[in-house]
Amino acid sequence: MSGKNISTRVVHAGEPRPRIHGAIVTPIFQTAMFETAGNAEYHDVKYSRLNNTPNHDVLHGKLASIESAEAALVAASGMAAITTTLLTVLSTGDHVLFQDCLYGGTHDFVTHDLADFGIEYDFIDGNDPGSWEGRLRPNTKAIYVETMSNPLVGVSELEAAAQFARAHNLVSMIDNTFASPINFRPAEWGFDISLHSGTKYLNGHSDLISGAAIGKADLIERVRRRLNHLGGCLDPHACYLLHRGMKTLALRVERQNENALAIARFLDEHPKVSRVNYSGLETNENHARAKKFFDGYGGMLSFELNGGGDAAARLMDRLTVATVTVSLGGVETLITRPALSTHQGLSAEHRKNLGISDGLIRLSVGIESIDDLIDDFRNALNS
């Protein structure tokens, strides 16, 4: 029994029973192969590239349990999970619908690489389900969305996307990295496959790269076989670190939800701040939708200052607790200007169309004391 509540399951689900030699913590199986590899069928040979050591098994069981899904698979990175899943679900001649404003790496894969595989795509407005049917083609096979958009943390019509997929016999995929399984569980809303950068909230300590695909057992089995061939396995030692990080996922994310809401409220009331993007604010245009889908509004937010890019640069110079860097989901508060970092590769025009101004600041809120964080922002804004 691993418990009804997600806070219990994140600690106990998937753990080997009986425990291996009684060990409370699953030992690291730092071995490439196992003596019993034997005469099994290729995908069942006990060989660590095939993601089948006890360190992988425990993660697969835990990830499936905490997202209320049938099966899960870890991968060497979020991008390995995403690209391998896309190349499993889609083949030459297929067409796929993507929500616009995708994570940068995914956007680049879609726009630079998919054509080489003979796969066609269209972008759709995630807020406007009425416009999706017009983008369908006879060869459309899948729809792909993200739980929250980066960096404006918008929330699309997620339930409609899963329903649309069922109605039109498409595979529904969602990148659930920003929400984490604590705040949103795609399988409960009808999604076939959820994808994660385990580098972010799942691990939570900014010290490894990993990914995961979670969902229907038959689909995950197909992704597993393709991953076995493409080779994007997760090393057993990285499995151990991810496993260790995940045990505190609920605690961390609950704290990050609280901290982010408090910072969003503080910024929203500050005279030098012109706009705050956070679905937890009652005034946010995504609030009703977020409230319906999410158990918490997450640790990601973005905002703009009256003084634009120059004021943003000054603020970031003066912060002492928040650290200026890309990436997200760690215990430490991280801050970045998307126009100069994550979204630098887009043209100024494209950024403008997406609503990403030069002065926009993205915050990944950590688990520090909320008093220290607010003091840090207050001092930096007022000096």
Ligand X SMILES: *Cc1c(COP(=O)(O)O)cnc(C)c1O
- Which residues are known to be catalytic? 49, 103, 175, 200
* Residue 288 Cβ vs ligand X, minimum distance, rounded to whole Å: 23
177 is a contact residue toward ligand X (CB under 6 A):
yes
d(C-alpha 66, C-alpha 179), whole Å: 13
CB-CB neighbours of 311 under 10 Å: 18
d(C-alpha 182, C-alpha 70), whole Å: 17
Closer residue to ligand X, CB minimum distance, 199 or 228? 199
* Residue 375 Cβ vs ligand X, minimum distance, rounded to whole Å: 28
Indicate the residue type of 360.
L
Q: Which stretch binds ligand X (CB under 6 A): 13-21, 43-51, 75-83, 116-124?
A: 75-83
d(C-alpha 87, C-alpha 68), whole Å: 24
d(C-alpha 49, C-alpha 47), whole Å: 6
Report which residue's Cβ sits closest to ligand X.
78
Among 48, 50, 51, 78, binds ligand X (CB under 6 A): 78
Contact map string, positions 137 to 176, toward ligand X, x by CB under 6 A? -------------x------------------------x-
Query: Of the candidates 75, 333, 306, 73, which has an alpha carbon nearest to the alpha carbon of residue 193?
Result: 73
Contact map string, positions 5 to 34, toward ligand X, x by CB under 6 A? ------------------------------
d(C-alpha 124, C-alpha 117), whole Å: 21
Closer residue to ligand X, CB minimum distance, 199 or 305? 199
d(C-alpha 249, C-alpha 5), whole Å: 13
178 is a contact residue toward ligand X (CB under 6 A):
yes
235 is a contact residue toward ligand X (CB under 6 A):
no
* Residue 184 Cβ vs ligand X, minimum distance, rounded to whole Å: 13
* Residue 151 Cβ vs ligand X, minimum distance, rounded to whole Å: 10
Closer residue to ligand X, CB minimum distance, 213 or 367? 213
Q: What is the DSSP string of 1-13?
A: ---SSHHHHHHHT
* Residue 202 Cβ vs ligand X, minimum distance, rounded to whole Å: 10
Across the chain, the runs of DSSP E, i.e. the strands, are 71-75, 95-99, 120-124, 140-146, 171-175, 193-197, 211-215, 273-277, 300-305, 323-324, 334-336, 361-364
Closer residue to ligand X, CB minimum distance, 61 or 78? 78
Q: How many residues bind ligand X (CB under 6 A)?
A: 14
Closer residue to ligand X, CB minimum distance, 79 or 339? 79
Task: State which of positions 180-199 bind ligand X (CB under 6 A).
Answer: 197, 199
342 is a contact residue toward ligand X (CB under 6 A):
no
Closer residue to ligand X, CB minimum distance, 172 or 273? 172
Closer residue to ligand X, CB minimum distance, 200 or 224? 200
First to last CA, the chain: 54
59 is a contact residue toward ligand X (CB under 6 A):
no
d(C-alpha 287, C-alpha 280), whole Å: 6
Q: Residue 336 is encoded by which pair of tokens?
A: 């970045």
d(C-alpha 210, C-alpha 244), whole Å: 13
Closer residue to ligand X, CB minimum distance, 173 or 219? 173
Q: What are phi and psi of 152, to 5 degrees?
A: -90, 0
* Residue 98 Cβ vs ligand X, minimum distance, rounded to whole Å: 13
209 is a contact residue toward ligand X (CB under 6 A):
yes
d(C-alpha 87, C-alpha 131), whole Å: 26
211 is a contact residue toward ligand X (CB under 6 A):
yes
With beta carbons less than 8 A apart as the criterion, state whether 146 and 272 touch: no
126 is a contact residue toward ligand X (CB under 6 A):
no
Peptide bond into 236 cis (omega under 30): no
Among 27, 54, 100, 105, binds ligand X (CB under 6 A): 105
200 is a contact residue toward ligand X (CB under 6 A):
yes
Residues that bind ligand X (CB under 6 A): 77-79, 103, 105, 150, 175, 177-178, 197, 199-200, 209, 211
